[in-house]
Amino acid sequence: MLTPLPPAVPRLLDVVLDCRRFPDGDMAYASSLLDPLDAPELSKLRRTTTLSHVAQTPAFRCVSCNSPLLVRTESVRSSRELGGRRARFYHARNSRAVGCLFNTEESMTPDAINARQFEGRQEGTRHKALKAGLVDALHGDAEVTSVATEQPVIANRRLRRPDVLAMLASGERIAFEVQLASPQMATIAGRTQFYAEARIALLWVMDEARLNASLPLQGFQDIYWPQGGTVFALDDDALAESKKAGAMRLHRVTVTQVDNRLEWTSELVGLDAVQAFLGLDEPDRHPSIATDPLARALLDALARGDSRAAGAAFTLLAQSCGVKANWYDARQDGFDRIMPVLVTLLTGRKAAPSGYADDAAAAILNSALEAPSLRDWSRVIAVVGNSTVEAAGRMARRSTWDKVSRNLQAIGQVPRRADALEQRWRPVLRRLFPRLPD
């Protein structure tokens, strides 16, 4: 039975369909879904809901017209709330909900909202000054080999011009996006996905002088909460310190929620801290398991057993890889069951809900090799198993290798399905497991 909580903000849609577990949805009160969320949880829900909508597998639908719903927030200043009590559901733009009684709000595109924010200006004076200062700071850093502003970057037939693009001596690239206005969730998700596809690290940079006003804004919360409450900022002091040190200096801002207020600390750090934050400081810059957001979202959803979230992440990932397939196709091929097995092979630890112990890698792998429906994945298992020394050691166990050999012999006699699996899923596998040979 549904038990409503006292509403914190006026909500026209007080009952919605929660489709995260079942396509047809479970009826739930908006207050029970939103009110208990703290600020980080609210940002996570907004991101999940947006990505699911883009993947055409909406997390929430309207009980009246069945159209997709997104999550909107009222400002912290007006609502005096940080978490989900200031959030509400609304119909996604172009959701064909024109006749719905609950669709009374005027929807604007992210571009239209951005145009209103900037009042027609292409680039403000402050933004231009900070960007120029960042370029100078990077030019003086010995770890940076080249710096460019507004340089075109193309990925999967799309183009972006990052505010500042820096090439490091290690060969890695960092796109610095100087963000002074509160961004839309669609903007955040779009840039994150684009740079992941282009294999460029993305660093959002705020204005340190405006943190008091900017940090409570939802758009900035949607940036720093998924980053563990950390964001970087720039101001005149950081630029002066960069010039003095002959190396880039940025403010590393750490945000926490205490009761119903935000608290933060700030410290000046160098490029080494930025590299560590972005995961570029590891000796092996090409790990066996991908670290880009879409790949991690899919693998994390499979690890939780959340098929709905996995389907949404898979759809976006497949599209970005040029693979014309949906989540139903993937599940028919056993993709959802074999991916956690491959992660287990690489890490030695369980990567999906099951009755196995967390470190029972051999048992998990053997169980998959014995399943008739997964037999034709054995060639992929063998390739992944040989991509790292540790995985090769796990696969070389007598009980495991005997099963791999047996399955490979069977595939050799009837190779059609195994060939089809490899051909269909090779681009996605390469994205998930960067060490796989070409």
Contact 263, 255 (CB under 8 A): yes
Complete domains list, the chain, with CATH: 15-107 (no CATH), 115-278 (3.40.1350), 293-432 (no CATH)
Q: What are the structure tokens assigned to 396, written together?
A: 């070389």
Quick one: pLDDT at residue 11? Answer: 86
Quick one: pLDDT at residue 345? Answer: 93
197: pLDDT strictly greater than 80: no
Q: How far apart are CA 344 and CA 364, in angstroms?
A: 8
Rounded average pLDDT over 287-299 = 79
> Looking at beta carbons, which pairs linking 423-428 to residues 24 or more positions away fall under 8 Å?
424/323, 424/325, 424/333, 425/323, 425/333, 425/335, 425/380, 427/321, 427/322, 427/323, 428/317, 428/318, 428/321, 428/323
Quick one: pLDDT at residue 198? Answer: 80
How large is the angle between the packed helices 293-304 and 307-320, nearest 10 degrees? Answer: 150
Q: What are the structure tokens assigned to 174, written together?
A: 């960092």
375: pLDDT strictly greater than 50: yes
Quick one: pLDDT at residue 97? Answer: 66
Quick one: pLDDT at residue 17? Answer: 93
Rounded average pLDDT over 204-218 = 95
Quick one: pLDDT at residue 226? Answer: 86
**Alpha-carbon separation of residue 84 from 43, 51, 214, 431 (angstroms):** 9, 19, 19, 34
Contact 30, 15 (CB under 8 A): yes
Mean pLDDT of the chain: 86
- pLDDT category of residue 258 using cuts at 50, 70 and 90: very high
Quick one: pLDDT at residue 2? Answer: 44
Quick one: pLDDT at residue 202? Answer: 93
| CA torsion through residues 306, 387, 424, 374, sign | negative
What confidence tens digit (pLDDT) does each residue in 63-115 have?
A: 988 889 999 999 898 888 999 999 999 988 766 666 787 775 555 544 444 54
What confidence tens digit (pLDDT) does each residue in 311-332 have?
A: 888 988 888 888 888 899 999 9
**Alpha-carbon separation of residue 209 from 34, 175, 205, 348 (angstroms):** 32, 22, 12, 46
Rounded average pLDDT over 401-413 = 91
103 or 31, which is more confident: 31
Quick one: pLDDT at residue 96? Answer: 66
CA angle 318, 320, 321 (to 5 degrees): 65
- pLDDT category of residue 116 using cuts at 50, 70 and 90: very low
Quick one: pLDDT at residue 94? Answer: 66
204: pLDDT strictly greater than 80: yes
Quick one: pLDDT at residue 282? Answer: 63
